[in-house]
Amino acid sequence: MNNELPRTAYLYSILAAFARPASATILYQDLHLVPSYAKAHGILMSVAFILIFPLGATVLRLSKPNYAVWIHAGIQLTGWALMLGGLATGLRVGKILDRLHNNTHTVFGTVIVVLMLIQPFLGAIHHWVYIRKKTRTALAPVHVWLGRILIVLGMVNGGLGLRLADNTHGGRSRMGLLLGGISPGLWIITAAMIVVVVEQL
């Protein structure tokens, strides 16, 4: 009984933060799923955009062997899969709370994911042409810089998501914990990416 009260209060606080008074499309019967889906969404997207995608980009730029491109592709496709999992859980939360297209985080996130879905195909086409002609294609800088920009935008959108979570009960403690753990990693990744870019100039 004691465990039910905090959980009920948590769910009502989520409803109060996200629901609009005139909304009649909230799936109340699935409201208890929101904390689990939201947590999974945050973890999957954070790992993808803060760890996996920057790692894959850095590995390719710092590695010279011929097979480096395959290491890059494998790492990025792993991040791609995590991103799709994050998208699925995020869409589920948005559907339950009727917040799919009425806030910055979900709209911005959808645009980022759609552009990220194009990235593997741009990279594959460039690599295929490069193998045949032994020269860089016009797609190379597009693929590289679009990827870098989307990684940064993904991190920014993660901040918007944390701010959205901060509106719910218990969100402040989670937000502080996440930022405390992520910030050092962001500094390291940012420094590494700056070094890589400077070396290419």
Residue 17 within any structural domain of the chain: no
Residue 159 within any structural domain of the chain: yes
Indicate which CATH number applies to the domain containing 136.
1.20.120.1770
DSSP state of 101: S
Residue 10 within any structural domain of the chain: no
Give residue 108's pLDDT. Answer: 95
For the segment 23-77, what is each residue's pLDDT rounded down to a tens digit?
A: 447 777 888 888 899 989 999 999 999 899 999 988 877 766 677 888 999 999 9
Give residue 25's pLDDT. Answer: 77
Give residue 21's pLDDT. Answer: 46
Residue 11 within any structural domain of the chain: no
pLDDT at 81 over 90: yes
For the segment 15-36, what is each residue's pLDDT rounded down to a tens digit?
A: 545 544 444 477 778 888 888 9
Question: What's the token pair of residue 62?
Answer: 């710092």
Per the structure, the count of domains in the chain is 1
Residue 106 within any structural domain of the chain: yes
Contact (Cβ atoms closer than 8 angstroms) between residue 40 and residue 195: no
Q: Is the dihedral of CA 185, 188, 194, 200 positive or negative?
A: negative
Range of the domain at 39: 23-199
- Alpha-carbon Rg for the chain in angstroms: 20
Q: Measured in whole angstroms, how far is the alpha carbon of residue 90 from the centre of its chain? A: 10
Please tell me the pTM assigned to this model.
0.73
Residue 46 within any structural domain of the chain: yes
pLDDT at 197 over 80: no
Give the residue-averaged pLDDT of 126-131: 87
For the segment 134-187, what is each residue's pLDDT rounded down to a tens digit?
A: 888 888 899 999 999 999 999 999 888 888 876 544 444 454 555 555 555 555
Q: Is the dihedral of CA 96, 14, 112, 74 positive or negative?
A: negative
Residue 6 within any structural domain of the chain: no
Residue 102 within any structural domain of the chain: yes
